[in-house]
Amino acid sequence: MVERTRPAMKMTDTFIKPMHPEGRKFVAIFAAISLVLFLIWDPLGWLGMGLTVWCYYFFRDPKRAVPQGAGLIVSPADGVISLIEKAVPPQELGMGPEALTRVSVFMSVFNCHVNRAPVAGTIGAMSYRPGKFLNASLDKASEDNERNSLRIDLADGRQIAVVQIAGLVARRIMWWVSEGQSVRTGERFGLIRFGSRLDVYLPEGVHPQVALGQTMVAGETVIAVLGRELPAAVGLVE
């Protein structure tokens, strides 16, 4: 059984979420522009205020209740499962030429964009590569788009790759970890501005427990389990 520990929740927590520090300057810029627009024409000012609220909402960084259980691999991002297929991990991570199961989570501009480690381990390799800004929901975005790739080495010797991929609107990939650093399951490790995608490459023999179109919650939704002979999920229950 998966155990979860949730802190006491206040009514205001339902509506007001903490904002990541990265968003402060953007919210300030939107707010300043809104004030100028109010001087020009009130409707424009209210439009600016709406965009300011959206900007705050985009950079929200809510607390997450990370499931406690051996071998759990959680979603690294909020969004929906857009692809589940076999693919070779990024060559720069040194994981070999064999195709592994890749689970892709697509984030729209309305999702929380703080990225979290899918599993506990050590950052064995990292590599940033510039590229294009195709629609992140497309399969070829994994190869052609700007990306930042991480390999997490597990205690049992296996490896998991997680790749931040810029999208059509995204223009900045950020990360706060480095090679050799230990990470905990659900720990924040990065952020992508304004729409993007996260790919997770599972170890050989590990099957995803999610389905195409399923909604993911970063740090909470279990996408696979290590060390158990579980069949792959075959469909999304409405």
Give the residue numbers marked as catalytic.
196
Torsion angle of the four alpha carbons 58, 219, 217, 5, in this order, in degrees rounded to the nearest 10 = -110
Q: Quick check: helix, strand or coil at residue 144? A: helix
* Cα→Cα distances 222→69, 127, 171, Å: 10, 26, 28
Query: Are the C-beta atoms of 82 and 212 separated by less than 8 Å?
Result: yes
End-to-end CA distance of the chain: 23
Closest CA to 82 of 62, 112, 108: 108
